[in-house]
């Protein structure tokens, strides 16, 4: 039967759990309980139903032909497999997730580059003992006093002192 047994992959829940960020723990737990419930249900059902003992029934049941008729109809019966409607949606979701995660990784890399740059600047700064005030204002622009806006000492609003 084609399509049956759609590859139930073994999931490493431990590795999965490691990668879950703490703010999504609840969702992960819900997913896990659901998966466990499903697999428990699956394991409780036998793979094939037990076979019917036709010989015994043929010997026991008096009505002629009834057992034969049953047997014929039974072996001719095809149980339809349930149709899979959701896998396509899941695949679509996966594509989308791949795209958005690629974007996120891009942004993250940009942020890392920025941090690296700042880190470089901090690491290559001259020690404070050798700085003049000019050097300090270059390294930390926020220490520069705005002499145009506040022409009188202390060159910043009193509240900022």
Partner 1 sequence: MFSRLVLRAAPAALRSLPPPVTVSVLHTTRPLHTTQQCLAPLPPLPEKGGEVRHGLIPEEFFQFLYPKTGVTGPYMLGTGLLLYLLSKEIYVINHETVAAACILSVIIYGVKKYGSDVAAFADKLNEEKVAKALAVKNEAIKNLETAIEQEKKEQWRVEGRSYLFDAKRNNIAMLLETNYRERLLTVYNEVKKRLDYQVALQNLKRQKEQDHMIQWVEKNVVQSITPQQQKDSIAKCILDLRALSKSAQAAA
Query: Rule CB under 8 A: which of 120-159 touch partner 1?
Result: 122-123, 125-126, 128-132, 135
CB of 147 to partner 1, least distance (A): 22
- Residue 75 as a binder of partner 1 (CB under 8 A): the answer is no
DSSP letter for each residue of 109-158 = HHHHHHHHHHHHHHHTPPPGGG--HHHHHHH-GGG---TTT--STTSS-G
- Residue 50 as a binder of partner 1 (CB under 8 A): the answer is yes
- Residue 77 as a binder of partner 1 (CB under 8 A): the answer is yes
**Binding residue (CB under 8 A) for partner 1 from 25, 68, 72, 94:** 94
User: 39 vs 147, which CB is nearer to partner 1?
Assistant: 39
Size of the site for partner 1 (CB under 8 A): 71
CB of 77 to partner 1, least distance (A): 6
Q: Output b/e per residue, 74-102; b: 16+ Cβ within 10 A.
A: eeeeeeeeeeeeeeeeeeeeeeeeeeeee
């Amino acid at each position: 039967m084609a399509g049956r047994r759609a590859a139930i992959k073994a999931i490493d829940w431990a590795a999965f759990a490691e990668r879950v960020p703490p703010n999504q723990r609840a969702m992960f737990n819900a997913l896990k309980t659901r998966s466990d419930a499903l697999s428990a249900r699956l394991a409780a059902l036998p793979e094939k139903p037990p076979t019917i003992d036709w010989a015994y029934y043929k010997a026991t049941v008096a009505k002629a032909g009834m057992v034969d008729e049953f047997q014929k109809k039974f072996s001719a019966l095809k149980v339809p497999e349930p149709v899979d409607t959701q896998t396509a949606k899941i695949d679509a979701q996966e594509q989308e997730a791949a795209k958005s995660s690629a974007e996120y990784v891009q942004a993250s890399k940009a942020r890392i580059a920025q941090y690296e740059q700042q880190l470089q600047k901090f690491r290559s700064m001259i020690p404070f003992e050798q700085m003049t005030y000019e050097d300090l204002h270059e390294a930390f622009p926020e220490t520069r006093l705005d002499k145009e806006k506040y022409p009188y000492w202390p060159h910043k609003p009193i509240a900022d002192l």
